[in-house]
Amino acid sequence: MRHHQTGQLVQAEQGYRAALALEPRNADALHLLGVVAYQRGHDDAARDLIGRAIGQNAGVAAFHNNHGNVLGRLGRHADAIAAYREAVRLQPNHVEAHASLAALLSQQGEAHAALTAIDRALALRPADAGKHVNRGNILRALDQGEAAIAAYQRAIELDPTLAAAHNNLGLALVAREEVEAALGHYRRAVALKPDYTDAYANLGNALQDTGRSEAAAEAYRQALALQPDHGDARLALAMSAIPIIPATVAAAAETPGAFAAALDALATWAAPHPERLRDAAGRSQPFYLAYRPADLTDTLRRYGDLVAAPQTLRDRPMPPERLRLLIVSAHVRDHPVWRVILQGLLIHLDRARFDVAVFHTGARTDEHTAWAAANVDTFVGGERSVAAWRARIAAHRPDIILYPEVGMDPVTGALASQRLADVQAAAWGHPITTGLPTIDLFFSGAALEGPDADRHYRERLVRLPRTGVSIAWRADQSAPWPGPERTPGVVRFAVCQQPIKFDPADDSLLTRIAAGSGACEFWLVMPNRQRWAGEHLVARLRGAFARAGLDPDRYIKVAPWMTARAFNGYLDAMDVYLDCPAFSGFTTALQAVQRGLPVVTLEGRFLRQRMAAGLLRDIGAEDGITDTPDAYVDRAIGWAAAVRDKAAWARQRASLRRAADRALGDPAPMLRLQDELVAFATKRSA
User: How far apart, in whole angstroms, are the C-alpha atoms of residue 409 and residue 281?
Assistant: 11
**154 HSE (CA, 13 A, CB side):** 18
DSSP 309: P
Neighbours of 686 (CB within 10 A): 8
Which SS3 state, helix, strand or coil, does residue 320 take?
Answer: coil
pLDDT tens string 195-243: 999 999 999 999 999 999 999 999 999 999 999 999 999 999 999 999 9
pTM: 0.89
pLDDT interval class at 177 (50, 70, 90): confident
Contacts of 110 (CB under 8 A, 6+ apart): 382
User: What residues does each domain of the chain span?
Assistant: 2-222, 323-472+667-685, 491-663
Residue of 414, 596, 397, 582 whose CA lies nearest to 498: 582
Which SS3 state, helix, strand or coil, does residue 63 take?
Answer: helix
Say yes or no: domain 2-222 is CATH 2.60.40.10: no
pLDDT tens string 79-133: 999 999 999 999 999 999 999 999 999 988 888 999 999 999 999 999 999 999 9
Residue 294, pLDDT score: 95
Average pLDDT over residues 344-369: 95
Residue 50, pLDDT score: 87
Residues 609/603, Cβ–Cβ less than 8 Å: yes
User: How far apart, in whole angstroms, are the C-alpha atoms of residue 404 and residue 343?
Assistant: 11
User: How far apart, in whole angstroms, are the C-alpha atoms of residue 298 and residue 426?
Assistant: 18
Domain 491-663 adopts which CATH fold?
Answer: Rossmann fold (3.40.50)
Domain 323-472+667-685 adopts which CATH fold?
Answer: Rossmann fold (3.40.50)
Judge whether 2-222 and 323-472+667-685 match in fold.
Answer: no
Residue 36, pLDDT score: 78
User: How far apart, in whole angstroms, are the C-alpha atoms of residue 131 and residue 280?
Assistant: 27
Residue 591, pLDDT score: 96
User: How far apart, in whole angstroms, are the C-alpha atoms of residue 505 and residue 242?
Assistant: 17
Phi-psi label, residue 236: left if phi above 0, alpha if psi -120 to 50, beta otherwise: alpha
pLDDT exceeds cutoff 90 at 352 = yes
pLDDT interval class at 535 (50, 70, 90): very high
- The number of helices, as runs of H, and strands, as runs of E, in the chain is 32, 13
Residues 523/556, Cβ–Cβ less than 8 Å: no
**408 HSE (CA, 13 A, CB side):** 20
